[in-house]
Chain A
Amino acid sequence: MASEKYYLGVDVGSVSTDLALLDSFGNLVEKVYLRTRGKPVEVLKEGLRIIEEKYPGIEINGVGTTGSGRALAGVVLGADVVKNEISTHAVAASRIFPDVRTVMEIGGQDSKIIIIRDGIPVDFAMNSVCAAGTGSFLDQQAARLEIPIEEFGYYALQAKNPVRIAGRCSVFAESDMIHKQQLGYGLPEIIAGLCEAMVRNYLNNVGKGKEIEEPIVFQGGVAANVGIRAAFEKELGCKVHVPEYYDVMGAIGAGILAREYILENKKKTNFKGFKITDFAFKTSSFECDGCPNHCEIVNIYENEKLIARWGYQCARWEAV
């Protein structure tokens, strides 16, 4: 096993931190899905430890990071590729469904649509103003109703007549759900109504003006929700495919892109190795008072050594 070359893809998102270990052909060997819990670096180290324990002594040939924490994860790991989540999701979806024409992804706090033709993305959109239709909101509602999030979708499937919930804004959606509850509608009906409202909201905002054509792949954490899946199929009137590893597609994409980059450029990886799980990473921030912009500068330290800095707009803090 030690002679095999592996690639690692890491997706540090708002809600979850995912790791995907790929073999030398780019196939998924192992996936790790952890909650970010607001501590991206700690959780990232935890994920690495899990992989190291399961595959002791493996050689990592390339590392790619993605997600909103991609830059941070990139400097912590020594990534070869730091990619935006739209590109990584598109790559992973095309890998698993080579004919895919539409990718819908709903994550913790963002949702996106990617239109793919002949294997390359030609158009995309991301939710811009509101997170009403994303995982965090579902999480919150599941907690409010005291239903485990894993079972949330199944409630929706039991509904006979979903009620109509106003889904434009998550605060109003919640008021509307409570209102319908007080009127006496059943829980499954309300949950199914919420799923339909979220799907409507997604198609009207993120999917507006996009040519949604089959085959459609639905991925991201929310794809686990069978209620949302069913609502999509009902609204679009066609089958929606959910890949087996729907929850770590971003990480898979990052790994594939890292592999592509290493092979194409015949590079050696920058990966610092599994030893970083013992390193101490620290961040500190301060407000620069050099001008009225008051930039919030963040310093990232590895074992007391400054390794990265961002948040500035001018040359004053460029040197690390």
Chain B
Amino acid sequence: MQITFPHMGDMAVAVKALFQELGFSVVVPPPISRKTLNLGVKYSPEFACLPFKINLGNFMEALDKGADLIVMGGGCGPCRFGYYAEVQREILQEMGYEFSMYVIEPGIINNIRKIRETFGPLPFRKVVSAVRLAWNKARAIDEIYKLVLEKRALEVEEGLVDKLYAGFIRKIDETMSLDEVRRLRREYREKIEDTSAKYKRGIPLKVGLVGEIYLVLEPFVNLEIEKRLGQLGVMVERDLYMTNWLLNFLHLRNDEKHIRRAARKYLGSFVGGHGIDSVGNTVRYSRRGFDGVIQLGPFTCMPEIIARSILPAVSKGEGIPVLTFFFDEHSADAGIQTRLEAFVDLLERKKRQRMKGLEYKGEIVYGQ
């Protein structure tokens, strides 16, 4: 049995650790590339969203490398996603691939039986240690990446933060020891902290990222928007992380309460996907004094379209600039870069004006 699963950000590191620790062999799909995208686009329904297409590309590349069991998310909602696994299965079967698919559905009892059928009996102790290792890897990655989002804006040597992060991911992927994971987490926390200048000039701009989870987490599909922002000297923060999402999903944490409360003035009901999160978190970032918010979503994404049409009211009501990007396979670098630069300029001028108060108007900015 050769297990594979779709990519989403650096999630593969933790998922791979989980299955390997359980004693299975894993085929990680090759990193998402233009080839993945082209494969996915070619065999997907045109109006499916970008995550669907990339998933399918991942599966094809992994099956070509010998995988025969696909593990995929399912469920009833929170958007069309619940139906994706079924459609992808049909498409792949029609293409002649031979494989089985395990779809993670809600309901524990149901899952336990299905897990036993698919994976055979799993000793409890083994499950505990595998989950612990995977969870610690995931936590470490999310913690370090959170720091990356902040420190990219401040780095002295251009590109150093990203170089360190790539090294961290490589090392944490290699190790199977819990102690080593913890050690790496400490080591790289310090290393990345050290990349910023001791004497900062001014306060960097801070932008909150909201939107659909796949588009926020996967740099390939959002055209590395976080990196672009970092290079423009902007600190980025987001609420969406794999571990955070999982904790909420398992009801071990309840961010939803805060999000709903924050969103209430603008949106009173769950609209699928991360729609209410986009609205609620925009309000929360604004209250925390962020300079702006960027919303990301795949083209044709219903929950984010709803959020998109509410965000202008939030922007006005809370006084925070909001920029929205919808991505599909036609999205191009140049357009994204121009809008980002303009947005950052806008935030900078707004901040300067706020800091200088009314003096600003009299200053020679647009000439005499």
Contacts and interface: CB of A to CB of B under 8 A. Distances in A.
Interface string B341-368: 1110110011001000000110011111
A121 B323 CA distance: 13
A121 B346 contact: yes
A86 B334 CA distance: 13
B33 interface: yes
Contacts of B312: 209
Given A123-B346, A209-B312, 13 more contacts: A84-B338, A85-B338, A94-B366, A95-B366, A119-B361, A121-B346, A123-B321, A124-B343, A126-B338, A263-B364, A291-B31, A292-B33, A315-B163
A24 to B, nearest CB: 10
Contacts of B361: 118-119
Interface of B: 30-31, 33-36, 159, 163, 224, 309, 312, 315, 321, 326, 330, 334-335, 337-339, 341-343, 345-346, 349-350, 353, 360-361, 364-368
A250 to B, nearest CB: 12
A83 B367 contact: no
B339 A26 contact: no
Contact of B33 (A84, A85, A119, A293): A293
Interface residues of A, number: 34
Contact of B349 (A120, A293, A315): A120
B331 to A, nearest CB: 9
Interface string A304-318: 000000000101001
Contact of B342 (A87, A98, A209): A87
B167 to A, nearest CB: 12
Contact of A98 (B34, B346, B366): B366
Interface string A272-301: 000000000000000000011110000000
Interface of A: 25-27, 68, 83-87, 91, 94-95, 98, 118-124, 126, 128-129, 209, 256, 260, 263, 291-294, 313, 315, 318
B341 A25 contact: no
A120 B353 contact: yes
B367 A95 contact: yes
Nearest to B35: A292
Among B30, B36, B337, B343: residue with most chain A CB under 10 A:
B343
